[in-house]
Amino acid sequence: MKVDHLEDPAIMQWGTYSNPLLTPMHQGNFNFNYPVQYHPGTASTYNYDRNAFNDHYNLAYQSGLSASCPRSLNNNSFDMTGLSHPGVTVSSHPPPMYQRGPQQPYEGMDLSQQSPNNNLMQLDHEYEDYPRPIPEDLTAYSTPYDSDISRAATPSDGSPLPLRDDALIEKDQPYAQLIFRALKDAPNHTMILRDIYDWFRKNTDKAAASDSKGWQNSIRHNLSMNGAFEKVDQPGEEARKGFMWRLTHDALANGVKSTTRYRSKQPNKRGHRTGLYPQRQLAGAMGGRSAKKQLRHKARMHDAYRSDPYQSPSRSMPTPATFDSAFNSEMSMYSGSPSYYSPSSSEVDAMEYQPDAYGPVTDSCIPQQAFHGLPNSSISSSPLAAYNDGYIQLPSDPAVPLFTSSPADTPSPSASEPRTPDSQGSGWDDNFYGNMGGIGSIGFDYYGGSDIGISAINQDGFATDPLDEGE
């Protein structure tokens, strides 16, 4: 087994990390008059494969000024993990299944955005190099974590270096955090459950510490309960095995928040039901993978949506790999916004699950980080901007200019402004700048159009939200 270091040493220079907000990409001469060129069919720009797993790989980002975006231009393109770099033909540990389409190099990509957090990258050597996947090889999934990689410190191995010193901290992190890390390092930030298990076996002591399988239960529990993780469908035969789990855009941008989604707010205040569920409502009566196709009891979840500022509206539904356009237009803040557009039960039920809803989206979008330096007012007053977890959605019409040079020239927000349903009054708009999702990235929280706060991501990947409304 080869345990090469996959990273280009030139890329892996931690010391060069300086300011996440001042990466070369952002330092480019910006004028905000450029109309975004949208070439839906430009093959050289992207190669959209309608696939759950490559939707993030197909973007060629050009000079940081414009991008064609198959809607789900992902943070991975600007990855803070540093794992999927242009020109680097290997990524750290993608199981072949995960990558269906060929990975496009990002010509103009910024290589300097390295996470300052060594923890996030220390695991790379654990994974094997692997050849570029055959596109149609969807069924031959083999976990990248071979069981025999007992990485028990084998000094003779050459480069054992299982975990660095700071890794010790990692072990004490909560499950949600660890899962976050696992996914963050994964290609597309997506993994299947078993690989998450394996990641835990390798990189944490949760597994070893417990003789039982409680830790797996906990992982599943967290995956289910924490809004940072979303399910995406697994194409092909493997779909039977379950979903893949992916970090939401919002999680990438904002970090993980607590796993409190459905937890009862007032747990049996009085009457403490000491005895184990004598009168207990059947726990998990609604559980199961049936959620995949039958959206049960959505209504009762809406309370949870409101109470959990981290929740995406349709957690029980597998999230299409990229935005379903209807979904997108209906709820443009599809994740991460506290004031959600809460679809009614019937609406949710109407949102039938479409396994093939990965179609390209008509809108062009550019990452908000491209607007670094632009006054907030300019952005928010743009008639085009619809903030969407790290991206600015643009209408299909490429002729419409984005911004004018002077604020005075800015056309007043028209009625056609695609605002989010709740951004007018009480909605949140998370408008992230900088290296989206990177440690230390900063975002501005808009509340009803007013810039009132700043969020940041701490070293642990947890978002610090000074305005976290706890209800």
Partner DNA sequence: CTATGTAAACAAC
Partner DNA sequence: GTTGTTTACATAG
Please give the residue ranges that form the binding site for DNA (CB under 7 A).
173-177, 192-194, 197, 206, 209-210, 212, 214-215, 217-218, 220-225, 231, 240-243, 245, 257-260, 262-269, 272-274, 276-277, 280-294, 296-297, 300-301, 315-316, 462, 470
- Rank residues 147 and 406 by Cβ distance to DNA and give the closer one: 147
CB 212, CB 157: distance < 8 Å? no
- Rank residues 39 and 289 by Cβ distance to DNA and give the closer one: 289
- Ordered DSSP codes for 5-35: --S-TTT--GGG---TT--HHHHS---TTPP
The gap from C-alpha 360 to its chain's centroid, in whole angstroms, comes to 18
Beta strands in 41-108 (DSSP E): 61-62, 66-67
The gap from C-alpha 297 to its chain's centroid, in whole angstroms, comes to 26
**Closest CB 9 distance from DNA, rounded Å:** 34
**Closest CB 201 distance from DNA, rounded Å:** 13
The percent helix, strand, coil of the chain (3-state, each to 5) is: 25, 10, 65
**CA-to-CA distance for 4 and 173, rounded, in angstroms?**
28
**CA-to-CA distance for 205 and 211, rounded, in angstroms?**
11
Please list, residue by residue across 416-447, b when 16 or more beta carbons sit within 10 angstroms of its beta carbon and e when fewer do.
ebbbbbbbeeebbbbbbbbbbbbbbbebbbbb
Neighbours of 246 (CB within 10 A): 25
**Closest CB 256 distance from DNA, rounded Å:** 8
**Closest CB 300 distance from DNA, rounded Å:** 6
**Closest CB 337 distance from DNA, rounded Å:** 17
**Closest CB 181 distance from DNA, rounded Å:** 12
**CA-to-CA distance for 354 and 371, rounded, in angstroms?**
34
Residue whose C-alpha is closest to residue 106's, from 147, 73, 153, 72: 73
Neighbours of 290 (CB within 10 A): 11
The gap from C-alpha 39 to its chain's centroid, in whole angstroms, comes to 25
**Closest CB 385 distance from DNA, rounded Å:** 30
- Rank residues 194 and 306 by Cβ distance to DNA and give the closer one: 194
**Closest CB 224 distance from DNA, rounded Å:** 3
- Rank residues 208 and 326 by Cβ distance to DNA and give the closer one: 208
**Closest CB 123 distance from DNA, rounded Å:** 19
- Ordered DSSP codes for 197-257: HHHHHHH-SHHHH-SSSHHHHHHHHHHHH-TTEEEEPPPGGGGGG--EEEE-HHHHHH-B-
- Rank residues 64 and 313 by Cβ distance to DNA and give the closer one: 313
